[in-house]
Amino acid sequence: MPVRSLTQSVLRWPSPEQVLAQARCWAQQQQRVHPGLQRVGVFGSYGRGTASVGSDLDLLLVDDRAEGPQQQRLRQWPLEELPLACDALVLTTAELEKLLHGSSRMAVELQRDLRWLLPNEPPV
């Protein structure tokens, strides 16, 4: 979320680097609590590297213990602890593989934009 500057009465939006660093820390904390969590990635503007003021965080959680509908899956994740409003998707490894091998708009977007935060992957 935007933070108030200590010396000014204006709000400052966190930089993309700050958002990604905080999201990576959040992911590492969640992995300690949720042993089924295999990977955490960002897509959309943060995955493409085009995020700016007002961008939300599009998050992909790969949890091999996930079951039930998306709404139920999302309840166990404290997304409010992330620095920005967040749209999240929780999939198992098998569901992600199936999605990525498809041709849906979501598959194309993930194939193009997905950037893994957990585990850390070296920049290409």
Identify the band that residue 42 occupies on the pLDDT scale cut at 50, 70 and 90. very high
**All structural domains of the chain:** 10-118 (3.30.460.10)
Q: What is the pLDDT of residue 121?
A: 53
Mean pLDDT of the chain: 91
100 C-beta neighbours (distance < 10 Å), count: 15
Residues recorded for the chain: 124
Alpha-carbon distances of 27 from 37, 38, 93, rounded to whole Å: 9, 10, 16
d(CA 42, CA 117): 7
Mean pLDDT of 75-104: 96
pLDDT at 77 over 80: yes
pLDDT score, position 2: 60
Q: What is the pLDDT of residue 4?
A: 57
pLDDT tier for residue 123 given thresholds of 50, 70 and 90: very low
Q: Do the beta carbons of residue 52 and residue 67 sit within 8 Å?
A: no
- Positive or negative, the CA dihedral 69, 40, 97, 106 is positive
